[in-house]
Amino acid sequence: MRLFFKKDSFKFLIAFISVCLVSLSSANAADAKLYKPFVMAKTPAGDFNAVVASTKSTLTKAGFSIVGDYSPYENAHVFSVTNNTVLNIVKNEKAGAYGAVQRVSVSQVKDKVQVAFTNPEYMAYVYRFNNNFKAIRADLIAALGYEKDFGAEGLTEKKLRKYNYAWGMEEFDEADEIAEYSTYQQAIEAIEKGFKKNKVGAFKVYRVDVPGKNMTVYGVGLKSPNMFNKYQDDGYIMGVIDFDKDKHAAHLPYEMVVLGNKIEALNGRFRIAINFPDLSMAGENSFMNIMGAPGGIKKALTKVAGGQSDDF
């Protein structure tokens, strides 16, 4: 089984040591601005379904297009949204498709409902964009409200632009190669065909084409049929790692990106870690407990895209 960390035990040891040393170096960045992966918009008391409906209405009135939404597991609903401002920005970025869609979540937590979204500025630095997405953050806050940023102690812009969880693990520019075709159109057709077959519980939440580019992003939900592979199931993975009182449901869904004739996806060891950067390597509710997730997610996406993969 492929682990969350790379197979080589020496690399895991170095990675574990580097995680332990992070706190020792944090003082050097004390004067730099720190960014967190999520924004808590509001936490109203009331009916979950009513807040889902009102959030949808609010986003639409604010000029956001809801390109997809789903409930990945009980007491959670995720909206995938975009608008012309976002699309006009990302069409000028090298891998702009990754930022073409913003994620907004509604989560029931006891008697409160949390409305949150992924911090656009944080993600813009992670994706190494030239535009910092501050305007997009401001638009979402204007629409949904603001209580706090959350999800980590915080990382500097410099660290986000070169982020990896630990030494030896993937960075943004080390995405998984999912499949390759002769043309962009063939790649799109293969993915659409794969979703229709839906043999591994991977389903399309949204599709957004970047204007004027052979560049498309798909949002992919994962629900393993009969839990035949728990590492291909949104509910299982989030049930392990999303244990804090402030919920990270806007981590979902995963992206699969078409860049020209190639299909790629961020490696799970990167994609999960950027939204859970403070999660421990080992112990209860740790990355160790979802060690099969990167491989499971990649296999599911590869199957959808018609690429070569084993264990199916």
- Do residues 312 and 299 touch, judged by C-beta distance below 8 A? yes
- Whether residue 8 is contained in a domain is answered as no
135 membership: H or E segment, kind and range: helix 134-144
Asked whether the predicted pLDDT for residue 308 surpasses 90, the reply is no
Number of structural domains (the chain) is: 1
pLDDT tens digit string along 201-232? 899 999 999 999 999 999 999 998 777 789 99
CA 4 – CA 56 distance, rounded (Å) = 35
- Do residues 151 and 113 touch, judged by C-beta distance below 8 A? no
pLDDT tens digit string along 108-118? 999 999 999 99
For residue 233, give the CATH number of its domain.
3.30.310.70
Residue 30's pLDDT band (cuts 50, 70, 90): low
- Whether residue 4 is contained in a domain is answered as no
- Whether residue 235 is contained in a domain is answered as yes
Q: What percent of the chain has pLDDT over 70?
A: 88
- Whether residue 23 is contained in a domain is answered as yes
Residue 46's pLDDT band (cuts 50, 70, 90): confident
- Do residues 195 and 203 touch, judged by C-beta distance below 8 A? yes
CA dihedral sign of residues 41, 43, 45, 49: positive
- Whether residue 31 is contained in a domain is answered as yes
293 membership: H or E segment, kind and range: helix 293-305
pLDDT of the residue at 58: 98
Asked whether the predicted pLDDT for residue 139 surpasses 80, the reply is yes
DSSP string covering 6-36: -S-HHHHHHHHHHHHHHHHHGGGGTTS--B-
- Do residues 172 and 266 touch, judged by C-beta distance below 8 A? yes
pLDDT tens digit string along 172-189? 999 999 999 999 999 999
Q: What is the mean pLDDT of residues 146-158?
A: 98
- Whether residue 299 is contained in a domain is answered as yes
- Whether residue 10 is contained in a domain is answered as no
Asked whether the predicted pLDDT for residue 246 surpasses 90, the reply is yes
- Domain around 272: 15-305
Q: What percent of the chain has pLDDT over 90?
A: 84
Q: What is the mean pLDDT of residues 287-301?
A: 96
CA 22 – CA 183 distance, rounded (Å) = 43
pLDDT of the residue at 226: 75
CA 66 – CA 255 distance, rounded (Å) = 16
pLDDT of the residue at 116: 98
